Structures are given as structure tokens and as C-alpha cells.
Structure 1
């Protein structure tokens, strides 16, 4: 029996909010105004996916759905939400027996909404929030089929109607990983927010971001490629319980950075409601540890936190090396507009040394360190040789 107290709930809510990633925000879509109603679309607003299944599952009661969280902090177009709730309740047991029979990764069937219902909601609201959710458990990844890695026909048809009738559309992705986003070419949305699997405080955390009480500061832990075939780990074994590691050292962003492969969203990417500037101070090296200091200043209108990411590029040598590797990161405190903080990241260069027998020493004074995904170059000085 897990005992929940306010301290733990507050921590879970903060962790969920800071882990969500703002991927797109055009036309001042976010943050939302609390006094203007929004229309919610998608079954995931009620059947919010808090986490994975099987051994990854943690029984948490209650789970705050996305719809509940938004209702608590803003205004929701009530007629549409009421119909979603009635349909969800009437179909809950049937769809769960159908979808979870083998613990396969699934998406739940969607409420069969009509264009008239969409247009009625658009007449009452300027902004729509469209939810896509995916559930996954052990054994293998989402399969490359509609309703799993790809958008389902139901979701595609509904999103087409929503983007047609509403002035602004926010897409919320409640996913255990990534999915194909090529459907956005036909019906682009004004904003995209990736929640991952946000836990029992999912709805409250999402609402904190949507209404601006928390400024997004999450960064992508994966590279979001254009197609599944772009990933070097993709093969004919995808979607099965057989895995062959053919990509070697070029895993994730190391592959895309090294070979110049275009992506939808890069590793470490994440937008904010505010803007930050970096002032990179001289890097010092003592023994094998490089100390990187970056002065971060909030240049925008919202308070927020920023994650400074440091990437290391090694000198050319006998062994193959990726273009750059993440060697450290640090998050600032909450910075008010015009406020600054100096962030320190310490990197033990021995952790990134490749050893070649009878090879000459590698001098790290030639190895640049860049800070942030803006790729600001920093050259460490002085430095020490490594064999």
C-alpha cells in the first residue's frame, strides 16, 4: 500500500512538468488564457497513459487525467467533454478487453465524432487541444502499423477536421517513445507538446504548462527522425523480440550528427516560453577534469529554467569517433526576466578517452567543447595528454 502525501504529490507534479518537452509553439498558441474555453479532442484526454505496463507499472490512485487537470485551471468546452465522458464510460470495458488481451502496445478506439460537433466546438472556442496516446509494455517496441507507431485512420480523420475548423490547434503527444509525425504535413498544428509518460499527476502537470504557471524546460532524450528507416537500428527485426545491434557506436544522436542526417527534432531539443542567452567563460582543466562555466541570462518575459548541455568532440585518430558526444549537463534555478546564473559543468576527460595500443598520446587541447544545442564552440585551455 502506497501512502500519498502532499509533499510527494508536489514532487511528482513538478517532475512531470519539467520532463515535458515543448516541440513547437507558433502564433502565440501557448500559454493559454484561463478565461478562454478550449475544446478537447482525443480519447487520451480521459484515458491518460501515466506509465508503462508489466514490471514498469506502478499502481497509483488516483491518476489525474489531462482533462481533469485542464478543467481545474482553465475553461473547457463542456458539451464536447460530456459526450466524450459518456462514450468512454460506456465503452471502457469492451475496448480494454479487446485491446489488452495480449499486453500488446495499443491505442484505444476513438469516440466517433462528427464534423458538426467539431464545427459547433470551434464556434465556441478559438483553440483545440488534440491528444494522441500510446500504451506499451514489455517484449517489443511499437509496431510500424496505424494505431501504434503510425497515426490511426480515426485519429487522422479527426485531426483533419479539427485543424480545418479551429483557429489554433495544440497537439499533445502522450507516448512511451516516439511515433511517425509525417501526418503533420497534411494537417499541421500550431503547437506540439510531448509529455512522455508523466505519472499520476499528469493532468495537473500538463495544465501547469498550458496556462503558464510553469515554463517548459524539458529536453528530448531521443532524436526524432523523419522516418523509421532513418534510424540505424531499424531493420527487418523491428517489432519482433529479436534485436541485432548493427549500428555499433553510432547510436541515437551520434549517428545523425556524424553523418548529417536531417531530423524532425534533434536530441536535446526543447523550447521555452522565454529566451536565454549564453556567455561562455574560459574553460579550465585540472588533472583530467575540465570545468565549463556558462553564464545564462533570461532575456524573455517569463520566468523559466534552462538546461545547459555540453558536447565533446574528440581529435581525429585511429579509431572511429562520433562527431560529438554529450559529456555533461546542468539545469539552472528558476530565473526571472533579466536574472542570470553561472552554471558549472565538470567533465572528466578520461571518461571519453579511446585507448589504442602503442599509439601516440591524444592531446585534448585540440578537442572542442560546445555548450547547448545552439552549438557554441568552446576550446579548453590548458589541457593534458592521454595515452
Structure 2
């Protein structure tokens, strides 16, 4: 049976194309809404890809939509991007059960959409690395936005970053809203005493984007961080996912069509020696520009590793997950062309990785997590 589209991606790629291997619909199995704050340049595209495969029909990413096989809808079709509160409210009303709302959004957004009871998820990254990634990804070379509406970043000019002053100039101008951006985003609408300050684009709020960070704003961000149910760290992708599975009792969240390395910081052509050393030579500058985020991230790391300790994930399971995700188990092209044999292809890749692992406990987890993963169609 063909399920009517429930997500933007289904406008462009029929939902039944992946019915045989993934099953349709793919629903978030818990009875609480989730707000995932995707901080910019924190690996959120990799997380979006993973969630798109595993809970596609219960996951709405504000901005460019992802397909059921966990990759962006082709950019050349200029797909529908849900970015406005009125669009999101319509999608929320269409859901038969609680779902996940995600994007470059601000704490408190669900309250303005009529959702008062929800779990809080956030993506976080070491602040100097985060800003370095943004500088190189969007400002190293001239960049034209993929979206006709401008997108989150819009058009940029190239820069060779041959001096610290260039970093300061771009940071204080084009990237001013991302200086201490994690603190600003977690403080959210509470910092301006309003849950109704939605602009036409939920990824922006002029009052917040232009608001200098002070102690009271930082305290609000720390309060939100302390109340967060799950933290995703950019440099700890698989431990983050294993924590999520443990906290919510989920079947393994595995992406069969990806190695979970998406949206790299390089945006065409080679990397010069100056650009390779940008972070190491300017770390203190990048940290001084993001002093509030440095403090916030220190607390986030502490909370993350406390969660990891409580979940007590066997080391062999983490190693097995690295093996399962080291290379795609099937390519999106192969999945599309030969969906009838996709299960055999994926299972053969899993068995191959089992056979080439000497440790029996790791073998056990490769098989258990690979064959019991949530992405499979469950009869």
C-alpha cells in the first residue's frame, strides 16, 4: 500500500520507493515531543541523515529536507523548505503521535507552537573548532547559496585568512550571530521574555541574533543545558548515538547508506597550508571571540560523559558500531536501482564485517546491532 506523503521529501521521491527495505511509515516510538536544537557547524547534518532513515515520518528538519535513505533531496529541484511557524503548526497538527522538531532554532520554540511537554536535545561542538569549520566551509571560497531564498548562510565571498584581523572582521560581521551562538540559541526566547517573537524564518530572530551575550543570558543557557535530555557531541558521534539508544530503549539507529560524515568544512578545491593551520594558530583568538560558548561547552562535556558512564555501553559494542558505520552498507544509488535485493546486499556486507573481526564479542555486537537495526522494515 502506498502511504500518502507526510514529509516534504515525499513531494519529490515517492515514499513507496523505500517501502520494501525500510518500511513506511517510520515513526518515533515515544509519546513525548522532542525539540532538537541543531547548533550550526556541530555535525547536525550527519544526525539529520541518521534520524531521516530511522524515524522519517516523525522527524521534521526546518530547512532543506532529507530523503528516506538519509540524504538531502536534490538541490536542483529547489525543494520545499519548511521554515515558518505557520508551516510547522500545520505539520504538527497532521501528526498522529508526538514527533521530533529540529533545526537551527532557539530554545522555547515548541512553546510558541503550542507544545508545552517535550524533551530537549542539543548538538554541541568545541567552540574554536566550530567557528573554524564555519570560516573554512562558507568563507574560504566564494559561495552561492543552494536555496533560491538565500538559505541559512546565503552568499559569501572568499577569504585567504592570511591574518587574524580577517578572522575578526568576518566573525564580527557576517558571523556575528554565531559568536557565542550556542549560548544564544540555548538561552532562546527566554532571553527576550517572549515565545511569540517568531519571524517569517524560525532559523532567525533579530532580537536574539543581535543581542549581546551577558551573564543573565549565559545563566539561561546553562539552565537549559542542565535540563537537556540528550547531548550530541560532534567529535563523539557514535557514543552520542549509543547514549540515545540507551536512554530511550531504541533499536540500533544505524545509517546503512552513509559513514555519517556529512557536510565537511571544505567547499571545493585544495586546502592550503595556511588553511590547514588556521585552527592551531588562531585557537586562542577563536576562543576569546566565543568565551561564553567555551564555558558552556565545558559543562556540556561534563554532562555528556556522565550520561555515557551511566549508560555503561560495552567497549565491544562501540567498536562494533564503528565497524558497521565505517563505510556504507549500501549506496543510495544501488538501493534505488535494486531495492528488491537491498536486504541481501546489506546482510552480506554485515556478514563480511563479522568474518573479518577476530574478537568474538565484537562479532556478536556487529551481528546483533546490524541485523536488529531500526532502519529495517519490521514485519
Q: TM-score range by the shorter chain?
A: under 0.3
Larger RCO of the pair (alpha carbons < 8 Å, separation 6+): 2
Higher helix share: 2
Normalising by structure 2, we get a TM-score of 0.27
- Larger of the two Rg values belongs to structure: 1
